[in-house]
Homo-oligomer: A and B are copies of this chain.
Amino acid sequence: MDQAKGTRKGRTGGKANEVKADLIAVVVAVNNSDPCVLTIAQANALPSGPFELAHRSLQSGLRGWVEQQTGQPLGYIEQLYTFGDRDRIGADERAISISYLALTRDEDAGASASRCWASWYDYFPWEDHRSGTPPVVQEELRPRLMDWADGADDSATRLERRRRAAVAFGFDDRSWNEELALQRYELLYEAALVEEATRGGYSAAPTPVPGRSMIADHRRILATGIARLRSKIKYRPVVFELMPPVFTLLQLQRTVEALAGRLIHKPNFRRLIEQQELVEETGETTAETGGRPAKLYRFRHAVLDERSAAGTKLPLSRA
């Protein structure tokens, strides 16, 4: 495909088999039920920078870049994915992108000149189902994806495309699965319905679907982070990285709902949290919620020790 580029890099002195490695961060916080990502460049890019010799490790390099570009110190970090440059748009030379997900609280609003929190759903308007399926899904994504499917050469491909669209977006009475955020973005990319897909300039660029784009493959990386986080909150107590030290159960629920992009059954949510003993009461209450004062809770950090929390789904014998 792009084999013509194979011998392009003729720098003298440099070893042929070396590449540039970029560290890219998806830094997430939740403010007032709004899931936010830390951005730079007028919300057009994620914090990032090359892995340098001075960096002690990949993670410390990432921390350095994020702090330098946004002033935001990072707590919880996990690796997302390493992309090769075939996936990178506009990359001028051989490069790989090592992406990370970081969770933080947007507490200290000090020195936040370049710090810019943007809502996830500015980039992915179709991902927020907290008020029901957003209109853009039925009114725009569905017909345009169907057009794309019908544009295939053979009928097998047409069926295949329809099926993939239906699974990803929950068409035809399928249920919406919030964890498929990455698949949805990639499907739209493949259908050339997002701005990034038409950057090559080869095809006549149609109007992209709603949703802000980013430089290079940053929006794809953001989608990867969203998908990972939506999956992870279900089996690891990572939400608490996004919560203040003390909170009410409803605040916790609203945070999870913001991340998942869908609503949660309140009594069941409370039951789940309580029976898993994820939190403990502080003894205080707050009346700032409007009605009956709510108990305040804090995260039981001990659960990080107690549970290895890898759920089984196989009929393993307990013997």
Question: Is A101 on the interface with B (CB-CB < 8 A)?
Answer: no
A82 closest partner in B (C-beta): B82
Contact B98 A86 (CB under 8 A): no
Docked CA distance A319–B265 (Å)? 10
Q: Are B263 and A6 in contact (CB under 8 A)?
A: no
A1 to B57, CA, bound (A): 10
Stretch from A193-201, A215-223, A303-311 that touches the partner = A303-311
A109 interfacial contact with B, CB 8 Å:
no
**Contact residues in B for A134 (Cβ distance below 8 Å):** none
Residues of chain B with a CB closer than 8 A to A312's CB: 234
Report yes or no: B260 in contact with A177, Cβ–Cβ below 8 A: no
- Copies of this protein in the complex: 2
Is there contact, CB below 8 Å, between B14 and A18? yes
Asked whether, in the complex, the Cβ of A308 is within 8 Å of the Cβ of B11, the reply is: no
| Given A163-B305, A234-B312, A263-B319: 11 more A-B contacts, CB < 8 Å | A1-B56, A3-B54, A17-B50, A51-B96, A179-B310, A234-B311, A264-B315, A265-B315, A265-B317, A268-B315, A311-B313
B-contacting residues of A (Cβ < 8 Å)?
A: 1-3, 5-9, 11-21, 50-59, 79, 81-84, 86-87, 94, 96, 98, 163, 167-168, 175, 177, 179-180, 183, 231, 233-235, 256, 260, 262-265, 268-269, 271-272, 305, 308, 310-319
